Amino acid sequence: MTKYLVRHYVTADFIAEKVVDETEIDTEKNNLKQNTIPDGSFSFIMVEQSEKLIRTTYEKYDENLNNSSKEWTWNR
């Protein structure tokens, strides 16, 4: 039986949150210091029903990882 690998490219809205000590931010100057951009130390929660399908692809699936002769099928 032939197997296929199906990929969905999806976007979604997330909330990133983290509890920090008062020494890690400057509330008087509204400066978040090292917490300006969320990183792996933040918890990420996806907003319900915010996902949007951008593109779907599928290809024949086999155990050979470096097979460049596979044909891809794109659905945009």
19-59 pLDDT tens trace? 999 999 999 999 999 999 999 999 999 999 999 999 999 99
Locate the domains of the chain by residue range. Answer: 3-65
The neighbour count for residue 70, using CB atoms within 10 Å, is 11
Amino acid at 63: E
- Say yes or no to pLDDT of 67 above 60: no
Whole-structure pTM value: 0.62
Q: Beta 43-46 vs 14-17: how paired, if at all?
A: antiparallel
Task: Choose between 67 and 75: higher pLDDT.
Answer: 75
The predicted structure's pLDDT at residue 62: 83
Tokens of 63: 């155990």
